[in-house]
Structure 1
């Protein structure tokens, strides 16, 4: 009997394991089982933290390191990747403007900016790139991308002509001076990988949904939403583009809306772009069964998350799909069942979230071992 070809294509398990470590744990479990299998590890990203690193590695890209500003204008060493013979830069927003760069007690999206990410963009332009891929997950900012825009030469001015830099100060915005914009960015194809479809403002906007995760109090959320509305109003008057209507515009604290409006950036579904960019279809073509997963799989997964992108491609080839997660729905879900033949929660018993995160690797290995034994029968 021929061996089973298993394609292991999980997303990261947030706050626990990155996507590659998840894939390796599943592979270990399968190899310990009775299943005679050949495994291919193909960790995926949908725009979240770590997506850029995966793309750089898939393309055997080179890393460029540089000193830039963190979300609070402190100097740090950051980096980005170059692939396709230096034609394409892959930039992780989290590398310069990420939550992981900030201590929990320092979180303050009223002041944090994406300027450092803009510095990486400028450095990529200095390298002569023609395409920029921006993975925006894991940011500490809710600045509408104004930090990135400032790093590329755009100035945000109050009525007296004074430059505004902090997100909270955008309530005083009167005009946007684009005369100093680095024109090289307009000749560049910019793609922003989005894994959410939130708009810029309102109850489902970037401040309301993502502000609290980044340290905003209820009052802070209101201030940020007001700032972003003001930004949108002034931008509409000057560009004719209504930032509040842009699908995906609220991703990463509004970076998507800002860069779409002033750089003509392409806002793309993160997982679809990733799978195309990394040649996932070739891997699926060789597989007999596909295993994917992330921390939680539920109906939200169907809105552009990594496991859905993987399952969608697998189902086009009529392949069985197994989803592993820390958490799955209690009730059967017809929509999920169209794409996942089996959904398994990996937990080994009732426990608190801290303990569950601690034992993610062991739980993945055990569950994959059991899956392998079942497939071997």
Structure 2
């Protein structure tokens, strides 16, 4: 049972539990394993921390509006630190009226990285989903010692909106401990940094950007990319996954040479998912919607690819599926089932996600049991 979170409806852990309850209620004789998954989005790091038995270390950091908040990061036995960007710089930390990516900064995530370095971290993994920022990572980088200067050599104020005036970046005061630490960024989207498919255009509006500020933010990110290219020679504009977290992924690649990784594959590797497949006869996965976009590296797709390599049937559950799934979806998902029980509005559907998952899983269990009886 390897579901992703059902966005706004159910966490991945609760989704797996609901599926398990349904299978138990079906009377099917079976063993099962709950293996909730994350693809780099908000909650992924918590799942990794739980799987790896990481200690949760408390830290006080700055939220997107620079207010002090208490949060945590994970620390494993091998000095790997696990950081959830949303814990420090997330949308969920702000009220709707506070959302404004022209002023929101990712500084708190940088605070967490510094706290990890204080504990002599040798590898830092950052899950970047769910951020409230479109700052290209300048908040993180400032927290780590980078200085963003205008043409007079003075530090810019009013970031990220002021990035259009960026002329140079002083990296001489970057935390020297970064040089001896591997930095991995888990990305849940593959958008580029700039343009109509970029960080500002696609994700800016959900973070409070107006049409006018979307254009301004895109210009800010372009200027940042231009100056970073002159500073380090790295191209933020073309790097895969660069649009993740308002361009923060591209910024950490550009100035810190961070490794940008597809969230779901990295998650499945580090948590040992393939070992669990060794004893599986069926895999049940799911999330809020399974459609053609799922094929672009979403969580259920990562699960399905690995299961199909082993010849294991995959059942996909979702609040929404296509009326006629295309051949690529059918290639990876043997069965696709919508979990809704009757016509309803979105609010009702979200409220009933757990009950609908359990009911659908119970039906699956009964069908498997009937099929097995028939075969005998």
Smaller-chain TM-score range? over 0.9
Deviations 1:109-149 (A, max 9, x none): 11000000000000000000100110000100000011111
**Which residue does 2:51 correspond to in 1?**
58
**Which residue does 2:355 correspond to in 1?**
362
Larger deviation: 49-58 or 343-352? 343-352
Distance 1:338 1:63 in 2: 40
TM-score norm. by structure 2 comes to: 0.97
Structure 1 SS opposite 2:57: strand
Summarize the alignment of residues 1-377 of structure 1 with structure 2, pairs less than 5 Å apart: 8-83=1-76, 85-165=77-157, 166-377=159-370
Deviations 1:173-215 (A, max 9, x none): 0110001001211221111111211110100000001100111
Larger deviation: 298-307 or 116-125? 298-307
Distance 2:61 2:268 in 1: 30
Give 1:80 shift: 0.3
Distance 1:164 1:146 in 2: 11
Give 1:217 shift: 0.5
Distance 1:260 1:286 in 2: 38
Distance 2:243 2:47 in 1: 24
Give 1:324 shift: 0.3
Structure 2 SS opposite 1:140: coil
Give 1:86 shift: 4.7
User: Is residue 128–residue 188 contact of structure 2 (8 Å, CA) maintained in 1?
Assistant: no
Distance 1:286 1:55 in 2: 21
User: Is residue 311–residue 321 contact of structure 1 (8 Å, CA) maintained in 2?
Assistant: yes
Give 1:160 shift: 2.4
User: Is residue 301–residue 307 contact of structure 1 (8 Å, CA) maintained in 2?
Assistant: yes
Larger deviation: 229-238 or 278-287? 229-238
Give 1:164 shift: 2.1
Deviations 1:264-290 (A, max 9, x none): 111111110000100101100011100
**Which residue does 2:374 correspond to in 1?**
none
Structure 1 SS opposite 2:59: strand
**Which residue does 1:3 correspond to in 2?**
none
Give 1:238 shift: 1.8
User: Is residue 205–residue 250 contact of structure 1 (8 Å, CA) maintained in 2?
Assistant: yes
Deviations 1:315-370 (A, max 9, x none): 01100100000111112210011110000110112211111111101100111011
Deviation >4 Å, runs of 4+: none
User: Is residue 186–residue 264 contact of structure 1 (8 Å, CA) maintained in 2?
Assistant: no
Distance 1:164 1:97 in 2: 21
Distance 1:23 1:245 in 2: 37
Deviations 1:74-130 (A, max 9, x none): 0000110001x1510000000000000000111001100000000000000000010
Distance 2:181 2:98 in 1: 35
TM-score norm. by structure 1 comes to: 0.97
Larger deviation: 158-167 or 37-46? 158-167
**Which residue does 1:4 correspond to in 2?**
none
User: Is residue 128–residue 187 contact of structure 2 (8 Å, CA) maintained in 1?
Assistant: yes
For structure 1, the 5+ residue unaligned runs are 1-7
Larger deviation: 32-41 or 111-120? 32-41
Give 1:262 shift: 1.1
Give 1:163 shift: 1.6
Distance 1:343 1:39 in 2: 20
